[in-house]
Amino acid sequence: MANHKSAKKRIRSNDVKRLRNKYQHKTTRNAVRKLRASENKSDAEKLFPVVATMIDKLAKTKVIHSNKADNLKSGLQLLINKM
């Protein structure tokens, strides 16, 4: 266990950030699943900008790597174009 006041505060703030990152990552994954499961193109086109923004926010805060974010968005766009 930490002995210094600043170390204890760091532990608390890390826990808060970990839970926030976990929530945002899981929410984004569910949104990607929902987009992939959509069957008509118009719904997917409406949902894509929202999902892309969520993915970009994860990449910006370094929850996921920027290349992974680009690959996800590219794959989703290809999926929509094939519909």
Give the tens place of pLDDT for each residue, 12-64: 999 999 999 999 999 999 999 999 999 999 999 999 999 999 999 999 999 99
Domain ranges, residue 46: 39-83
pLDDT for residue 68 is more than 80: yes
Give the C-alpha separation, 79 to 74, whole Å: 9
Helix (H, G, I), strand (E, B) or coil at 58: helix
Residue 62 lies in a domain: yes
Residue 66 lies in a domain: yes
pLDDT for residue 83 is more than 90: no
Residue 73 lies in a domain: yes
Residue 59 lies in a domain: yes
pLDDT for residue 1 is more than 80: no
Domain count, the chain: 1
Q: What is the pTM of this model?
A: 0.86
In the chain, the N- to C-terminal Cα span, in Å, equals 55
Residue 75 lies in a domain: yes
Residue 16 lies in a domain: no
Residue 74 lies in a domain: yes
Give the C-alpha separation, 36 to 51, whole Å: 11
Q: How much is the pLDDT for 2?
A: 79
